[in-house]
A and B are shown apart, each in its own frame.
Chain A
């Protein structure tokens, strides 16, 4: 049971990162390889605002997440919009280049060392059936669930959320409704960056924050998205949780140094056996 609890914690983070991948995949058809950097930026910003500047947590939280939202907008306006020929290969290459640039900038701003972030809430263990779970883990899980729920509400109920869904369905038809697909694309990067930053903030006190965290976080989130099936939000969360739990269980049977390899084994297995993901539908192409 203990594995389950720690798996749910990291799984929630993977789920949020996978959601970010999905949003951008749905609006642009590409994998944004800088998604992990958005998570790192969230962690770094909360370090600066909360641990260094000592702002009250709520202010620091909204500050960090708000900045990340702007980073998402700038990211799209600079890297994606300026790419003249927006085919998948070019755009993916651009996101890889952008991720390296962000990482380098972060290294210059925050240095190479791993930075500790103060706890946001008192730390204590809660007794659960078959083990304990820390208050921090509970926070991570609850915030992730709340964010996923909020995203769902945004997409289902708000005017811009619905416009995003319309663009997922058919970008050309959305344009003929007066919906600017370019605006939707900016929004999707902003929202994906925000989701990443939330993940980065809430995990920060549990793990240290390092400038190159984004690589591994991004790849884990990507594995979760592939595991669930790209293009499906519910599946992203489920994929994240499953990957987290799977990783945590496997740590008990294989050397912990190999823990990171598990995610990539999962990718390979899925791509070999069920390429549309566990919950993915067969892709239907419109004619």
Chain B
């Protein structure tokens, strides 16, 4: 469904991505893990053409999207939940959701609104509240719901666990699991490797802008190198037990 081929991105001389190839099949839940500054956000943003690539391509249903505008890519059925959630702070929860459905026909917006508020009841309760007033977890739910309003076939998620308490992280990932079970394709990038790999089927490891490992999520979770570099804390916990 999505095939990133030898993507290169640089920010004025600083190489952020080097020869990155990633693919996601229809219905898959894929997690890409990497530490601070590895280039995770850059990867998602260049797929969405929020930042422009140097070379390479990102094929969505076989067509290169890296030359399209972001809003047209969204219209094609690819949605991004951006890093740091980026809800419209000065607009109500309801208006945020409406914006997600900006390009969709009114009847579909109505139906989607019902769907997302059923999935995230708190958004229904807070419908008229300003989005900026929500807690971090609620904002993350809103950002996901807003992306779902675009009626995507693939959802790109940037660091959903950022700044959230462990319990809330679990809650968010459980929702993603439900979404994946309905057939939504998900490509997620995370620093929090343990949770990201736990919920995914396949995974990639990104380091300094290069893919250094890939495989089944369960295998990556069990890999000694991954444990040492990305699951350090928990690994130590296991040793201490």
* Contacts A159-B102, A163-B99; A175 near B88 (Cβ below 8 A): no
Query: Which of B98, B146, B150 lies in contact with A162, CB distance below 8 A?
Result: B98
A286 to B139, CA, bound (A): 15
- Closest Cβ neighbor of A162 among chain B residues: B95
* CB atoms of B99 and A179 under 8 A apart: yes
Q: Which of A165, A175, A287 has the most CB of B within 10 A?
A: A175
Q: Is A190 an interface residue (CB 8 A)?
A: no
A85 to B156, CA, bound (A): 29
Q: Is A176 an interface residue (CB 8 A)?
A: yes
Number of A-B residue pairs at CB separation under 8 A:
74
Q: Is B227 an interface residue (CB 8 A)?
A: no
- What residues on B are CB-neighbors of A162 within 8 Å? 91, 95, 98-99
Number of interface residues of B (CB under 8 A): 28
- What residues on B are CB-neighbors of A181 within 8 Å? 71
Q: Is A123 an interface residue (CB 8 A)?
A: no
* Listed stretches B14-22, B73-81, B171-179, B189-197; interface member: B73-81
* Listed stretches A47-55, A110-118, A166-174; interface member: A166-174
Smallest CB–CB gap between A11 and chain B, Å? 27
A178 to B48, CA, bound (A): 11
- What residues on B are CB-neighbors of A176 within 8 Å? 48, 50, 70, 74, 79-80, 82, 86, 147
Q: Is A93 an interface residue (CB 8 A)?
A: no
- Closest Cβ neighbor of A169 among chain B residues: B88
Q: Which of A170, A173, A287 has the most CB of B within 10 A?
A: A173
A211 to B98, CA, bound (A): 44
Q: Is B43 an interface residue (CB 8 A)?
A: no
* CB atoms of B88 and A173 under 8 A apart: yes
* CB atoms of B50 and A178 under 8 A apart: no
A86 to B62, CA, bound (A): 32
Smallest CB–CB gap between B42 and chain A, Å? 14
- What residues on B are CB-neighbors of A287 within 8 Å? 84
Smallest CB–CB gap between B159 and chain A, Å? 14
Chain B 96-111, CB within 8 Å of chain A: the 1/0 string?
0011101100000000
* Contacts A169-B88, A169-B90, A173-B87; A163 near B71 (Cβ below 8 A): no
- Closest Cβ neighbor of B132 among chain A residues: A169
* Contacts A175-B50, A179-B99; A170 near B88 (Cβ below 8 A): yes
- Closest Cβ neighbor of B104 among chain A residues: A178
Q: Is B224 an interface residue (CB 8 A)?
A: no
A173 to B139, CA, bound (A): 13
* Contacts A163-B102, A172-B50; A178 near B91 (Cβ below 8 A): no
Q: Can you give 20 contacting A-B residue pairs, CB < 8 Å?
A: A165-B90, A165-B95, A168-B90, A169-B88, A169-B90, A172-B50, A173-B87, A173-B88, A174-B99, A175-B50, A176-B70, A176-B74, A176-B80, A176-B82, A177-B99, A178-B150, A179-B99, A179-B103, A180-B71, A180-B72
Q: A166-B95, A175-B70, A182-B69 are in contact. List 10 more A-B contacts (CB 8 A).
A: A159-B102, A162-B91, A162-B98, A169-B89, A170-B86, A173-B86, A175-B50, A175-B71, A179-B103, A286-B84
